[in-house]
Amino acid sequence: MTIYRQSLGGTGYAFDGLVELLAKATPRRSGDELAGCAARSDAERAAAQWALAEVPLREFLTEPVVPYETDEVTRLIIDTHDRAAFAPIAQLSVGGLRDWLLSAAARADTAALTAVSPGLTPEMVAAVSKLMRNQDLIAVARAMRVRSGFRTTIGLPGTLATRLQPNHPTDDPRGIAAAVLDGLLLGCGDAVIGVNPATDSPSATADLLRLLDEVRLRYDIPTQSCVLAHVTTTLDLIASGAPVDLVFQSIAGTEGANSGFGVNISLLREAAEAGRSLRRGTVGDNVMYFETGQGSALSAGAHLGTGGKPVDQQTLEVRAYGVARALDPLLVNTVVGFIGPEYLYDGKQIIRAGLEDHCCGKLLGLPIGVDVCYTNHAEADSDDMDTLLTLLGAAGAAFVIAVPGADDVMLGYQSLSFHDALYARAVLGLDPAPEFAAWLDRLGLRDADGRIREVPPLSSPLHALAES
């Protein structure tokens, strides 16, 4: 194991291996302090970042952060690494990669970024993000474009899609339908209409799937629906003929954390094949939907890496994107502030983590969005979420999540409202996914300038539903 040394301000620092170096180089966050792997001072953090900048990218292929022998996520990352795509940057250090990425971003060279993406491992991407300022994360993410499709096309330039999240604490069909209508009338739902069920009951999940599909078919809505049940529940429902569009699962960056979710890579591949076999998409066949979040491996006690050292939560988060990349998903989002202040303490940490997650996901070739959110016991508020939403819109986020009134009454946390999504689109000059935008126009829900009308026209089939 390599000992990395750096002198700063007359003080010498030593970091025992890549695991420790990555952790100490990470911008401050409460989860790493909880895990006992954070830098003990700003000076130590700066020294670690200087040392990390000099690490050759090739080193990440020979010194795994989590052991190859004991972790299938590591094996997936190493065994599927595209060495041909890596070749143009193989001689670079982490600092050299940062310079290269910023140069490509300044030239808006999406083709160069896309070509290199399969050659980047999650650990390389996590490492370079630790050397970036927030503006660097925004610039690089904006230059990288990733598209996916099912019934709508996600990730096109000049668009910001939304997940309409109509959760209800008792899965009441009337409450869910009212929330869906509210979101549709405000131009939301083009990424997915996605419900977190109150239980994982197969019959309740099937009822919700049929409800959402009925609404979609009745109003000919070009979108996809998803009930965010466990992947095994969804697999059984596919076999029984339920109207499944997307297959959902929460994932993490270690085999142990995924085992805690009750999944492994083989099961996820089986689910992807089952979803594609239904052939329900119209513009594409990306059928998987993944959610992640910094701190999930730590909360499961599955965050230890090589030498038994704790791996920082952001590196493990990006490893989860390595899992997602192998499944060719339609959507991936980080629920950035959902796990709580034990992992991201305040608005500053949540904003930084959201920008990191978005940029790293983009660099790994994912159609990534963000649940811009916080829990009520975090040192954060809606002003912080406004800031993060605006920055993500500037960075070219594929989608965000929106709930009625920004308050998810089932999960008990604060996210974005439907009006927040309208704000971001209006201020940043962004549109919904093109297929959904055409539907809004067809129903007269937008004016000639693309703004959502305050009241749907009498001719709209949604008007009667709204009146009822």
pLDDT at 461: 73
Measure the CA angle with vertex 123, ends 40 and 131; round to 5°: 55
- Where are the strands (E) in 303-360, listed by range? 331-335
* 183-214 confidence digits (pLDDT tens): 999 999 999 999 999 988 999 999 999 999 99
Please, what's the b/e burial string for 232-255 (b: 16 or more CB within 10 A of its CB; e: otherwise)? bbbbebbeeebbbbbbbbbbbbbb
Q: Would you say residue 463 has pLDDT above 70?
A: no
Mean pLDDT, rounded, for 417-437: 97
As given in the structure block, the two tokens for residue 183 are 């979101």
Out of 76-85, 169-178, 407-416, give the one with best mean pLDDT: 76-85
> What's the Rg (C-alpha) of the chain?
22
6 three-state secondary structure: strand
Q: Would you say residue 275 has pLDDT above 80?
A: yes
* 370-399 confidence digits (pLDDT tens): 999 999 999 999 999 999 999 999 999 999
pLDDT at 459: 67
The 8-class DSSP code of residue 27 comes to: P
* 121-130 confidence digits (pLDDT tens): 999 999 999 9
Mean pLDDT, rounded, for 355-371: 98
Q: Would you say residue 225 has pLDDT above 60?
A: yes
pLDDT at 456: 73
Task: State the Cα–Cα distance between residues 339 and 378, nearest whole angstrom.
Answer: 10
Measure the CA angle with vertex 136, ends 130 and 139; round to 5°: 140
CA atoms within 13 A on the CB side of 246: 32
Task: State the Cα–Cα distance between residues 318 and 356, nearest whole angstrom.
Answer: 9
The 8-class DSSP code of residue 311 comes to: P
pLDDT at 202: 94
pLDDT at 199: 87
Task: State the Cα–Cα distance between residues 465 and 456, nearest whole angstrom.
Answer: 10
* 278-322 confidence digits (pLDDT tens): 999 999 999 999 999 999 999 999 999 999 999 999 999 999 999
The per-residue DSSP string of 347-406 comes to HHHHHHHHHHHHHHHHHTT--EEEE--B-TTSB--HHHHHHHHHHHHHHT-SEEEE-GGG
Question: In this structure, which amino acid lies at residue 247?
Answer: V
Q: Would you say residue 354 has pLDDT above 80?
A: yes
Contact (CB, 8 A) for 428 and 394? yes
pLDDT at 184: 96
Confidence of residue 402 (pLDDT cuts 50, 70, 90): very high
* 1-19 confidence digits (pLDDT tens): 799 999 988 999 999 999 9
User: How many C-beta atoms lie closer than 10 Å to residue 115's C-beta?
Assistant: 13
User: How many C-beta atoms lie closer than 10 Å to residue 45's C-beta?
Assistant: 20
pLDDT at 457: 72
Those residues with Cβ within 8 angstroms of residue 464's Cβ, 6 or more apart along the chain or in another chain: none
Task: Identify which of 443, 408, 346, 436 has the alpha carbon closest to the alpha carbon of residue 159.
Answer: 436
**Orientation of helix 94-106 relative to helix 122-129, angle to 10°:** 80
Task: State the Cα–Cα distance between residues 146 and 168, nearest whole angstrom.
Answer: 32
pLDDT at 289: 98
pLDDT at 454: 80
Q: What does the mean pLDDT of the chain come to?
A: 96
pLDDT at 46: 98
